[in-house]
Chain A
Amino acid sequence: MNRKFTGDNVFKILAAVIAASAVVILIVTAYTLVSGSVPVLQRFGLGFFAGTQWNPVEGREIFGALPYVLGTLVTSGIALLIGVPLSIGIAVFLVEMAPKALRVPIAYLVELLAAVPSVIYGLWGLFVFRFWIQNYIEIPVSNSLGWLPIFSGTPFGLDVLTAGIILAIMIIPTVASISKEVIGAVPNSIREGAYSIGATKWEVIRHWVLSYGRSGIFGAVILGLGRAVGETMAVTMVIGNTIGPAAIPTSLFKPSQTMSSLIANGFLESTASLEKSAYIGVGLFLLLLSLIINIAAHVMVTRVLKVKGGAVE
């Protein structure tokens, strides 16, 4: 194979150029968002990220992104609080407990959750799930614990809690399937060692398996967080979409707004260039947040799955 053949070089260069399409996408996106948010950043500076007001009325323009940043963080946080334990439970069940015959169908059903389009989660959330939350959780809790600030507000089902729970459902497939891989990658020798000293299954899983796979599961959680942060349609349809200081998520039972729902609701409707720039500025912040989260997740997950490559037969 010493003969030089230009076809190979052409092919390699062609593939290399096309592989750069990802970079092109990233650069175009970053450029669009940065250049688009210049006007609002010039006008308000970093105060744009600390401000809470959002007023597009002419002559009174003021834009602050803080409530939506908080809205995103709080709903994603709820999603993790609820979604992660469920996902780990599912992963443990699938790897360690489920009868062989059930493993594939259950894993498959859980993965189907990821196949349902976001807008259908939203539709279901708006017309069905919202009433479950309102009638079976919010109204009883509000009646007994409504004096607590985090349960204050009028429970009508389109709020932070509903959005957080829907997000929790939506991240389950991601977190569960990666956790499953991670738990599956824990060497059997570790389990055998633990069983041999008389541990029950629960003890083996808790003290050995989960702690061995800790950083991989953490990576899965971060990846789930990334998904929750970027999710748009389902959240937009159930979060209640408030604007300005009212959108600061102070209570589970109050409507709020996330960065992505704000953009979905308002971007196309914004008429003034400063207002449009404000939406793009929020988009820029969302992009940065999602970049940080995803890079962190990928670093963690790849590190662990590399270990797996060596450890499992």
Chain B
Amino acid sequence: MINNYAFRKFKNRLFFVLCLACVVIAIVPLLSILYEVIARGAPQLSWEFLTQGPGTIGVSAGGIGPAIQGSLILIGLTSLIGIPVGILSGVYLAEFGNNRYASAMRTVNDVLTEFPSIIVGITAFSVVVLTMGSFSAIAGAVALSFILIPVVARTTEESLKLVPNSVREASLALGAHKWRTTLSVVLPAAKSGLVTGTLLAVARIAGETAPLIMTVLGNTYFFQGFGQPMDALPLRIWRNALQPYPELQAQGWGAALVLILIVLALNIGVRLASRGRFRK
């Protein structure tokens, strides 16, 4: 069964076109999402929209100020908990990771990385909200940390593994201790990979919604304390999308634009900064 050459060439062409079509099909939704978010969200943007709390339906439009503030606080608080823990975990896995304990930890981290986020919400609700007796910013940050820690740990490990052993040996040969070597030599050497991975992980948790439904509740006011309910952009988008009032839905699109700007800025910024400095 020998296909004639022309037919084989045609199949080859067809294959090329099909693969190109795959790329186009995948990119169309992306462009549509970006277009719709900008087209529907941009008209919402105003100083008032960005800085005020929700208005009264039918009276004043108000804004999503508390949601923006809440998201920033959540990102900050989660980073505060999650990044140090994640990086130290990663350091352990990379630098001391040649034992059974470490490989068990590595597997657990791998599994956690793909955890359904809604389950993290149930956990944080049961463990933090019910214990503290209040929906709170802290509960939200704990839930998001559960998502952030394993990602940062794995990223750190991967970045540290790319640092050549000769670097470690050089430092140790100069008489530096292992801890000193790790903190002063290995981590800085892996800097760009670490920063890239960590910020991408932060960008991911910035858009997480499901765990927030069960933890931060939402708030029409600006920050009232870590033990109090708080608003967040993804939560606001979800709630507003399901409201029967067109003006609230429109605000949801405005909030989506702000959120996507934050997330994309983190992504694009990180990639531009790390381009060429770090082997992909």
Q: Do chains A and B touch in the complex (CB under 8 A)?
A: yes
Chain A interface (Cβ < 8 Å from any Cβ of B): 1, 5, 7-8, 10-12, 14-16, 18-23, 25-26, 28-29, 32-33, 36, 85-90, 92-93, 97, 106, 108-110, 112-113, 115-124, 126-129, 169, 172, 176, 200-203, 205, 223, 226-227, 229-233, 237, 260, 263-264, 267-268, 279-280, 283, 286-287, 290-291, 293-295, 297-298
18 inter-chain pairs at a CB distance below 8 angstroms, sorted by A residue, are: A7-B179, A10-B179, A19-B89, A21-B85, A23-B104, A25-B146, A29-B119, A93-B23, A113-B30, A117-B207, A119-B209, A119-B234, A123-B256, A124-B32, A201-B12, A230-B118, A233-B234, A298-B107
Q: Which residues of A contact B139 (CB under 8 A)?
A: none
Q: In the assembled complex, how far is the CB of residue A278 from the closest CB belonging to chain B, in whole angstroms?
A: 12
B residues whose Cβ falls under 8 Å from a Cβ of A: 8-9, 11-12, 14-16, 18-23, 25-27, 29-30, 32-33, 36-37, 40, 85, 88-89, 91-93, 95-96, 101-102, 104-105, 107-112, 114-123, 125-127, 146, 149-150, 153, 172, 177-180, 182, 203-204, 206-210, 213-214, 234, 237-238, 241-242, 249, 252-253, 256, 259-260, 263-264, 267, 271
| A18 B89 Cβ-Cβ under 8 A | yes
Closest to A93 in B: B19
| Complex: A86 Cα to B27 Cα, angstroms | 11
A39 CB to nearest chain B CB (Å) = 13
Distance in Å: Cβ of A309 to nearest Cβ of chain B: 11
The 9 lowest CB-CB distance pairs between A and B, nearest first, are A117-B207, A89-B22, A230-B116, A11-B179, A15-B92, A93-B19, A19-B92, A202-B15, A232-B210
> Known contacts being A11-B179, A117-B208, is A19 close to B88, with CB within 8 Å?
yes
CA gap between A15 and B116 in the complex, in Å: 27
Q: Give Cα distance in the complex from A121 to B15, angstroms.
A: 30
Residues in B whose Cβ lies below 8 Å from that of A172 = 26
Contacts A32-B123, A86-B26, A202-B15 known; list 14 others, CB within 8 Å. Answer: A19-B88, A19-B153, A22-B153, A29-B119, A32-B122, A93-B22, A113-B26, A124-B33, A202-B8, A231-B116, A264-B213, A268-B125, A279-B122, A290-B114
